[in-house]
Structure 1
Amino acid sequence: MQYTVIERELELRLVLSPERSVAVPARLSYRSDDPYAVHVTFHVTSEQPVYWTFSRDLLVEGVFRPSGHGDVRVWPTKVEGRDVVLMALSSPDGDALLQAPAAQVSAWLERTLRVVPPGTEGEQLGIDDALDQLLAR
């Protein structure tokens, strides 16, 4: 089965304090064979990249309004007059607050939504076809 991969390299900012942040190279990745999830790889150029996977819907919603709870929270804001999306990630290893350029995240999400429109994710998984084959026996 053929699937589509949509990736976007971008620079995020790891917020260390209200006055200080550092650049973090990252890659957004979406695969049509895993249609509900988005994958984010941080420190793509380091020997120990960090991988996070969470719901595409959470990120889509988080571009417009606060979304998520628990391990992943996403919300829009302005920093120095620029539209950004903040991502708060929590794990047993620690917490991180990352700032992403809203326009780049939105453009990438738009591409994923064109490949797999909202509400059609289940069709991508081929569950209906598998069920039909199973019931046909």
Structure 2
Amino acid sequence: MNQPLTSVRCTVDARVGTPQHVSTPVPAQLHYDLTDPCAVRLSLGAPLTSPVDWVFARDLLTEGLRLPAGVGDVLVSPLITDHTRRVRITLRSAAGAAVVDVDAAETEEFLRQSFALVPPGAESAHIDLDRAVAEVMGRSA
């Protein structure tokens, strides 16, 4: 018997660097899971090394495909380089900033699969409030 699909993973072509210079190819994955239906996770280094994960809103990634979006620690914007459509994800922390450029077509396919799992606007139907409250309170659900 087939188990229902509960997550989507997509390996993406990623290049990482500073806001002034992006050039280093890095293995990366985008991940979407029903346990956190409003978010996506960008794992840098996955699956080859212990990944560095950034979690941000799926809506932010969706909007950033078309126009600059976001405030604070994560900014997403469309980017065209050498006739290639990419998405620039700027990640900021107290330690500084990094940019991750990922292929736009791979990102769109990842989002299409995540929307097949949970359509835009239907995320609240998949939120486990008991688990979320337990996590905030530091208890197991």
TM-score of Structure 1 vs Structure 2, range by shorter chain: 0.7 to 0.9
Match of 1:79 in 2: 81
Taking the TM superposition and a 5 Å limit, the aligned residue runs for 1:56-71 are 56-71=58-73
Match of 1:108 in 2: 110
In the alignment, structure 2 segments of 5+ residues that lack a partner are 130-141
Q: Calculate the TM-score normalised by the size of structure 1.
A: 0.84
**CA distance in 2 between partners of 1:19 and 1:88 (Å):** 12
Identity of aligned residues (%): 34
Taking the TM superposition and a 5 Å limit, the aligned residue runs for 1:1-137 are 4-16=6-18, 21-44=23-46, 45-46=48-49, 48-125=50-127
Q: CA deviation at 1:94?
A: 2.5
Which structure would you say has the larger Rg?
Answer: 1
Does the aligned pair in 2 maintain the 1:63–1:76 contact within 8 Å? yes
Q: CA deviation at 1:92?
A: 2.0
Give the number of aligned pairs: 125
**Pairwise CA RMSD:** 1.8
Q: Runs in 1 of length 4+ with deviation above 4 angstroms?
A: 16-20
Q: Calculate the TM-score normalised by the size of structure 2.
A: 0.81
In the alignment, structure 1 segments of 5+ residues that lack a partner are 128-137
Q: CA deviation at 1:18?
A: 5.5
